[in-house]
Chains A and B, each alone.
Chain A
Amino acid sequence: MKETSMKKNFLFISCEEAFHICDKSQYGESTLWEKIKLNLRYIWCRFTKAYVKKNNQLTNTMKTSNVQCLHKTEREELTKNFNKELKN
């Protein structure tokens, strides 16, 4: 009985864990085993399915947008120059 329950835990994950794995997958940081567990839950859980769909869409949109921002060093340089100008 205990063994069956352990096997179940080994294969089945909670919604929260599925969301976490899905988030990590967006950045290529989930392991193969995590992906398998996520896919298992994806088959029967409509919440996981909805979350995965929306999360993938967000990743694709961010990629196609080609949106950019300043790197830390660039921002520091800008701040330094701006503060100098602000004092004058």
Chain B
Amino acid sequence: MSDHQINPNKWIDLYSDYLFNYTITRVNDREIAKDLIQDTFFAGLKSMKNFKGEASERTWLISILKRKIIDYYRKINSKKGKAEVRMTYNSDDQEGDWLEERVEDEAYLNAEETMENSELGDAIYNCMGKLSEKQATVFKMKTILGYETETICNELDITASNLWVILHRARIQMAECLEKKWL
């Protein structure tokens, strides 16, 4: 019998934020990241029969997502090759080597920082996975999305004092979870 079961009905709740964060640190565009995770879920549905249960659902979905991200870069790189031929300076008074100047990408210069951030992002999502559903939702809305207290209270139908109690417990657990490596 396989160690892990597959249940697509829970994919959005359990993995969409994790996959979104994983993708956005790699493609740096919100719309593209959303498209890629949607494609990943669709591809997962199509190839559900190939899931052997040796790895967790999340690991399996990440392996599909990685291929989607690689395909995305392949696609834009082939487009870039065509676009470069047409690239010129915007005005006549500009001089220099346009190819070298335009090819320079800040993302490559900060590769190490990006890698560390993506590791930290993974650690944060792993720790959030250990919180109760309500704690994770409140923590996410307040700390990551930066929503106002009132908005969260209305959204989740809780009082402000209730929110602060949930948040306090969530913060203690998050700090303990992240403490060894990241705090």
Decide yes or no: A67 and B144 within 8 Å by CB, A55-B171, A61-B120 being known contacts.
yes
In this assembly, does A54 line the interface, its C-beta being within 8 Å of a C-beta of chain B? Answer: yes
Q: Which residues of A sit under 8 angstroms from B42, Cβ to Cβ?
A: 82, 85
The size class of the interface chain B forms with chain A is 35 or more
Whether the pair B183, A61 counts as a contact (CB closer than 8 A) is yes
Q: How does the 8 Å CB contact mask read for A49-78 relative to B, with 1 for contact and 0 for none?
A: 000001101100110111111111011011
B contacts with A: majority SS: helix
- Summed over the interface, the residue pairs from A and B with CB atoms below 8 Å come to a total of 87
In this assembly, does B175 line the interface, its C-beta being within 8 Å of a C-beta of chain A? Answer: yes
Within 8 A of B (CB), among A13-63: 19-20, 23-24, 26-27, 29, 54-55, 57-58, 61-62
Q: Tell me, rounded to whole Å, the shortest Cβ–Cβ distance linking A38 to chain B.
A: 14
Whether the pair A86, B167 counts as a contact (CB closer than 8 A) is no
The size class of the interface chain A forms with chain B is 20 to 34
Residues of A within 8 A of B (CB): 19-20, 23-24, 26-27, 29, 54-55, 57-58, 61-62, 64-72, 74-75, 77-79, 81-82, 85-86
23 inter-chain pairs at a CB distance below 8 angstroms, sorted by A residue, are A23-B167, A23-B168, A24-B164, A27-B142, A54-B175, A54-B179, A55-B175, A57-B183, A58-B178, A58-B183, A61-B124, A61-B178, A62-B143, A69-B21, A69-B140, A70-B17, A75-B12, A78-B12, A78-B34, A78-B38, A81-B38, A82-B12, A86-B45
